[in-house]
C-alpha cells in the first residue's frame, strides 16, 4: 500500500512523539486534621492550581463525591487495619470494591476518575515488623478478583505503596541496592502480581528523613543544589539524593528479575516546620529542584530519559493530627497551610510560579487564648504540658517557627492551640483560671497563633473537665520529648 505524503508526515510525527514521556505531578491529600478544609474547598484549590492527580489514604465518600466530575485522576487507599480481613475473605474484598468504587463508575458525568487502589499504607515499613506483611499478597489478589467481578479491572490498577526502607545498600551506592532479606519472598510475589497486571511499583521517598538519618549526606545534595558534591558509582555520577534512592530501587528490582518495571514516586516532599532545616525557604528550594528535575525528563543514571512515570507531592495540606512518632515535622509536609494558604511558590502544573490560595475560607471568630499575666503562674508549665498532650505544639520544638519565643509567650501558644482545637469553647481557655481570651492577635515573627477553620467536621476531643487530663502527663512526656530533650523543654516552658 502506497502512503500519501501527508500520511507519511503524520506517521513520522506520531513515531517521534512516542519516544517522549509525559511525567505527571500530583499531590497527596491527607485528612488527619482536627479541622479539615471542606472537601469542596480542597477541590477548588486543586482546580485553581491545575492539579490533575490526587492520591488519597482512604475512600472517604465526602472526598470522592467532591471529586466527581472534575476529571482529576484519583488513587484511593485501603488502610493497613483492613489488610487482615481483606486477605482472609473474598467477600470482604468484593464488598469493599462495591461500596467504595462501583458507584463512582456510572455512565453519568458525575463519576470519579479512579486510577489506582493503594492496598495498605507502607505495610512493609521496618518499624511494623511482620504486623502486616503476611496479609498483603492475599489482600491484593482478593481486591483484584473483586475488580474483575465488578468489570473494573480495565479501569483500575492495584498497587502497594512501599517506604524506601524496603530496600537499601550497605555501601550507600545504588549499584549495591537490594530489598531487605525479610521481604524477598513477599516482594517477589508482589512484583510478579504487578508485572502480570501492568501495574507500577509505588515507592515513597523522603530525602528529608534520609538526610537527617545520615550524617554523610549534605543538605545541598538533598536539595538538588547544583554545587553539591557528586557521588560516583560504577562510572555513574549522582548529583542528588533522590536519584540515589530511586536507582537503589532500580537495582533492587533488577536483582529480583524486574529491571524494567515502571516506578511511581507515591510520596515525596519537604516539611516546613517541626525540626531543624524544615523551613518554607528550604522546602521551596527542594520542591523547585525536584520539579525542574522531573520536567527535564533527564531521568536518573540507571534510567536516563526515564524518570518516574508519576510523582505525588507529599503533601497538599498540613495535618495537625498526623502521628509525630517520627518527629514533629510530620504535621508540616503541606505545600499549603491547613487552611489552604501557599507557604511558598512553585509550579505544580498551573503554568505560573505563583500558587493560588484557597478562597473564602470560613474561620472561627478572631480570638485567641493566652496566659493571664494578672494571675499567679506557679502551675502554668504543668497546664501547658497538659494542653500539649492533646493539642498540636509541634511548632515549639527545637529549630521550629515558635522555638525562640520567650516565656510566657510559648505558654500562650500551647493554651491557644488547645483552645482552637476545642472550637474556642470558653471552658477550653480556663486552665485553672490561668487562661484569658483576647481579640488581639498574639502572633509574632514567624510564629503564627492559628485561628481554626469553621467546619462541621471539627475534631471533638473529650469534653471532660480539663483537670482530668492530668493522668496523661506521663504519656505526653514520651510524645513531646521525641524532639525536645527534658532539659530543653524545661527551658522552653
Known catalytic residues?
122
Distance (Å, whole) CA 381 – CA 394: 16
Integer CA distances (angstroms), 90 to 4, 118, 136, 423, in order: 55, 17, 14, 43
Q: Per-residue DSSP letters for 474-493?
A: HHHHHHHTTTS-HHHHHHH-
Distance (Å, whole) CA 477 – CA 472: 9
Distance (Å, whole) CA 158 – CA 85: 17
Q: Per-residue DSSP letters for 277-299?
A: T--HHHHHHHHHHHHHHHHTT-E
Question: Measuring CA to CA, which residue among 368, 367, 358, 365 is closest to residue 318?
Answer: 358
Task: Quote the radius of gyration of the chain (alpha carbons, Å).
Answer: 24
Across-strand partners of 74? 54, 114
Which value, to the nearest 10 degrees, does the dihedral of the CA atoms of residues 103, 105, 108, 112 take? 90
Q: How many CB atoms lie within 10 A of CB 14?
A: 9
Amino acid at each position: 500500500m502506497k502512503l500519501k505524503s501527508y500520511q507519511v508526515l503524520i506517521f513520522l510525527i506520531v513515531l517521534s512523539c512516542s519516544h517522549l514521556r509525559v511525567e505527571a505531578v500530583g499531590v497527596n491529600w491527607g485528612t488527619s486534621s482536627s479541622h479539615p478544609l471542606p472537601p469542596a474547598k480542597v477541590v477548588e484549590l486543586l482546580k485553581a492550581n491545575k492539579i490533575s492527580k490526587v492520591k488519597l489514604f482512604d475512600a472517604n465518600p465526602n472526598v470522592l463525591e467532591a471529586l466527581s466530575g472534575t476529571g482529576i485522576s484519583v488513587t484511593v487507599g485501603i488502610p493497613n487495619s483492613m489488610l487482615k480481613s481483606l486477605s482472609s475473605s473474598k467477600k470482604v474484598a468484593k464488598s469493599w470494591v462495591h461500596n467504595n468504587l462501583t458507584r463512582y463508575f456510572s455512565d453519568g458525568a458525575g463519576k470519579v476518575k479512579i486510577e489506582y487502589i493503594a492496598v495498605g499504607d507502607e505495610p512493609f515499613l521496618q518499624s511494623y515488623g511482620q504486623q502486616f506483611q503476611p496479609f498483603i499478597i492475599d489482600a491484593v489478589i482478593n481486591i483484584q478478583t473483586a475488580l474483575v467481578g465488578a468489570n473494573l479491572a480495565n479501569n483500575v490498577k492495584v498497587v502497594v505503596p512501599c517506604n524506601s526502607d524496603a530496600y537499601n545498600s550497605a555501601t550507600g551506592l545504588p549499584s549495591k541496592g537490594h530489598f531487605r532479606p525479610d521481604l524477598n519472598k513477599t516482594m517477589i510475589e508482589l512484583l510478579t502480581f504487578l508485572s502480570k497486571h501492568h501495574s507500577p511499583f509505588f515507592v515513597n521517598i523522603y530525602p528529608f528523613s534520609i538526610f537527617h538519618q545520615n550524617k554523610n549526606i549534605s543538605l545541598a545534595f538533598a536539595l538538588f543544589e547544583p554545587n553539591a558534591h557528586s557521588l560516583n558509582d560504577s562510572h555513574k555520577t549522582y548529583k542528588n539524593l533522590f536519584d540515589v534512592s530511586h536507582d537503589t530501587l532500580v537495582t533492587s528490582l533488577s536483582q529480583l528479575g524486574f529491571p524494567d518495571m515502571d516506578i511511581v514516586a507515591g510520596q515525596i516532599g519537604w516539611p516546613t516546620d517541626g525540626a531543624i532545616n524544615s523551613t518554607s525557604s528550604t522546602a521551596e528550594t527542594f520542591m523547585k529542584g525536584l520539579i525542574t528535575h522531573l520536567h527535564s525528563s533527564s531521568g536518573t543514571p540507571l534510567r536516563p530519559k526515564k524518570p518516574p512515570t508519576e510523582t505525588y507531592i507529599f503533601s497538599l495540606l498540613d495535618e495537625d493530627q498526623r502521628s509525630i512518632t517520627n518527629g514533629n515535622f510530620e504535621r508540616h509536609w503541606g505545600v499549603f497551610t491547613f487552611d489552604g494558604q501557599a507557604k511558598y511558590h512553585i509550579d505544580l502544573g498551573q503554568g505560573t510560579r505563583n500558587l493560588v490560595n484557597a478562597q473564602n475560607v470560613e474561620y472561627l471568630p478572631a480570638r485567641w487564648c493566652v496566659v493571664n499575666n494578672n494571675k499567679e503562674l506557679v502551675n502554668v508549665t504543668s497546664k501547658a504540658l497538659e494542653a500539649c498532650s492533646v493539642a498540636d505544639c509541634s511548632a515549639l520544638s527545637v529549630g521550629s517557627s515558635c522555638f525562640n519565643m520567650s516565656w510566657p509567650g510559648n505558654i500562650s501558644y500551647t493554651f491557644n492551640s488547645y483552645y482552637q482545637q476545642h472550637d474556642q469553647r470558653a471552658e477550653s481557655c480556663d486552665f485553672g483560671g490561668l487562661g484569658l481570651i483576647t481579640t488581639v492577635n498574639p502572633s509574632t515573627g514567624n510564629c503564627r497563633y492559628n485561628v481554626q477553620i469553621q467546619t462541621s467536621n471539627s475534631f471533638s476531643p473529650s469534653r471532660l473537665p480539663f483537670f482530668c487530663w492530668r493522668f496523661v502527663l506521663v504519656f505526653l512526656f514520651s510524645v513531646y520529648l521525641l524532639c525536645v530533650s527534658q532539659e530543653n523543654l524545661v527551658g522552653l516552658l
